[in-house]
């Protein structure tokens, strides 16, 4: 006696759901890695653009923008970079706020999404942290005699394992 089957069995439904779950996990895992790679690429492009602007600033003024006591490469907490990133913004944009009128020559125009203006306006990387910037001659840094410019790439603690993944102007990361 034959019966006509008009529905799926419970096992068939569970197998389909398991396949969908595995495909979702693979897709979401890859999406995170792709977003990280995109953010690193954007940070590298922004560092290159700011480096060009810093060289133009130095050509006109004889020095890079900076103050004594700026954060150095050895300062590993992103909050330590906020004052130096503020100086970087003010030096390159000739203003203290993203929508204020410049008070001098503009070496780089920043988009609003490149800045954090919660307290003092500073340049932030695609990961949401301030860019590190240092011109201290006393701290040899990585580019002795020039300046160091870096993004922590979302790593908020120090150590060789984390500093090796920074996006910076002294290596090809």
pTM of the model: 0.78
Q: Which residues span the domain enclosing 160? A: 11-168
pLDDT value at residue 109:
93
pLDDT value at residue 73:
61
Asked whether residue 2 is assigned to any structural domain, the reply reads no
pLDDT value at residue 29:
84
Residue with tokens 């979401």: 28
Question: How many other CB atoms sit within 10 Å of the CB of residue 75?
Answer: 16
Asked whether residue 4 is assigned to any structural domain, the reply reads no
pLDDT value at residue 74:
61
pLDDT value at residue 13:
93
pLDDT value at residue 61:
92
Asked whether residue 152 is assigned to any structural domain, the reply reads yes
Cβ–Cβ under 8 Å, residues 167 and 151: yes
Question: How many other CB atoms sit within 10 Å of the CB of residue 106?
Answer: 13
Number of domains observed in the structure of the chain: 1
Q: Which two tokens stand for residue 123?
A: 């340049």
Tell me which residues of the chain have a pLDDT lower than 50.
none
At residue 75, the 3 state secondary structure works out as: coil
Angle, helices 10-61/82-93, rounded to nearest 10 degrees: 60
pLDDT value at residue 80:
77
pLDDT value at residue 89:
93
């Amino acid at each position: 006696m034959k019966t006509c089957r008009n529905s799926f069995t419970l096992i068939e439904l569970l197998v389909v759901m398991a396949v969908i779950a595995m495909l979702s996990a693979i897709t979401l895992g890859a999406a995170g890695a792709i977003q990280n790679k995109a953010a690193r690429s954007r940070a590298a492009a922004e560092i290159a653009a700011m480096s060009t602007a810093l060289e133009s600033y130095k050509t006109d003024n004889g020095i890079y923008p900076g103050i004594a006591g700026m954060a150095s490469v050895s300062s590993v907490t992103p909050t330590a970079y906020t004052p130096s990133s503020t100086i970087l913004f003010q030096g390159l944009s000739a203003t203290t706020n993203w929508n204020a009128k410049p008070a001098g020559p503009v070496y780089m125009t920043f988009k609003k999404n490149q800045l954090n203006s919660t307290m003092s306006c500073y340049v932030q990387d695609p990961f949401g942290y301030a860019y590190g910037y240092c011109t201290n001659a006393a701290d040899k840094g990585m580019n002795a005699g020039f300046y160091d410019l870096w993004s922590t790439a979302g790593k908020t603690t120090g150590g060789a394992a984390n500093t090796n993944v920074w996006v910076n102007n002294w290596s090809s990361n």
